[in-house]
Structure 1
C-alpha cells in the first residue's frame, strides 16, 4: 500500500517563473512546458548536497499552486538561531491549522457530525488557541 506523507521542512523560496528557473540553471525549456508558469525556486537547506554554485543547499522549482498548498510563510527568520526559527515555524503552522479548523466549524459537514464529535472539535480549537498563546509569549522574547 502507498504511504502518505506530510512535509515539515523549512525552505527558502524565491518567486520565479518556470522559464526564469530554467534560464538560471542554464537549461533549455522543454517544448512541452509553459515558461510563463508561476512558481518558486526552492532551496532545501537541511543537509542535501548543493546542486548549484550559488546555493548552499539543493534547489528545485515548484509550481506556485503546489508550493502555496504545501508551505506556510514564516517570514524573514534567517537572523535567528535554528531552534527559534522552528518555534516561529510551529507558530505559523498552528495559526494556519486554527484558521482552517475554525472555518470548518461553520460548515454543513461540521453541523452534520454527532454532538460529541462537535464538542471534541470545539475543545480541540480551544486547546490550540491556548497553545498558540504560549508560543506567542515565547516568540515575543526573540530578538
Structure 2
C-alpha cells in the first residue's frame, strides 16, 4: 500500500466554535427514537447527552425544528458550551452580548483557578505578571459588559 509522505499530507486545522444553540437533555436512545432511527448495536442508549439545535445556520433536518439538529454526548457538550440562560426573548445582538458575558466569566474563573496552580508558580515572573494583568483586564471588561446587559429589557 502506498502511503503519502508527510509533505504531501495537508495540514490539519484547528477551529473554535462560537454558536448559540438550543439544547434539550436527552439520552442517545431517546434521540434515536425521536428521529425514528434504530439504535446501532454497538452504541449505549443510556448515554446522557443533548439534542442540539443549530438555529443560525444549516437547513432544518427534522419537521419539528427550525434549525439543524444533532445529538451530542453530555461530556463533549459540557466541555464545549457555556449556558447563557433563557435569552430567546432578546434580539440576536443582545443574545450575543449575553453569550460573550457568560464565556468571559467562564474564562475568568478558569484563569483565576490557574493562577493558584503549581504550573503557574513555575512560570517566569514576567509571564506570571502578564497573566495577572490579563485577569485584571478581563474583570474590567466583564464589568463593562455587565453594565451593558443590565440595560437590556
TM-score calculated relative to the size of structure 1? 0.99
Query: Aligned pairs, how many?
Result: 143
SS of the residue 1:103 aligns to: helix
How far is the alpha carbon of 1:47 from its aligned partner?
Answer: 2.2
CA-based RMSD = 0.4
Residue by residue over 1:72-130, the C-alpha shift from the partner in whole angstroms, topping out at 9 and shown as x without a partner, is 00000000000000000000000000000000000000000000000000000000000
Work out the CA distance in 1 between the residues paired with 2:61 and 2:67. Answer: 7
Which of 141, 144, 152 is the equivalent residue of 1:131?
141
Deviations 1:42-97 (A, max 9, x none): 00011210000000000000000000000000000000000000000000000000
Separation in 1 of the partners of 2:111 and 2:51? 30
Runs of 5+ unmatched residues, structure 2: 1-10
Distance 1:93 1:82 in 2: 16
1:75 paired to 2:85: yes
Q: Please point out which of 52, 70, 74 is paired with 2:62.
A: 52
- In 2, the alpha carbon distance for the partners of 1:43 and 1:19 equals 17
- 1:23 is displaced (CA, Å) by 0.3
Q: Tell me the residue number matched to 1:142.
A: 152
Structure 1: 4+ residue segments shifted above 2 A: none
Note the residue ranges of structure 1 that are not aligned, 5 or more in a row: none
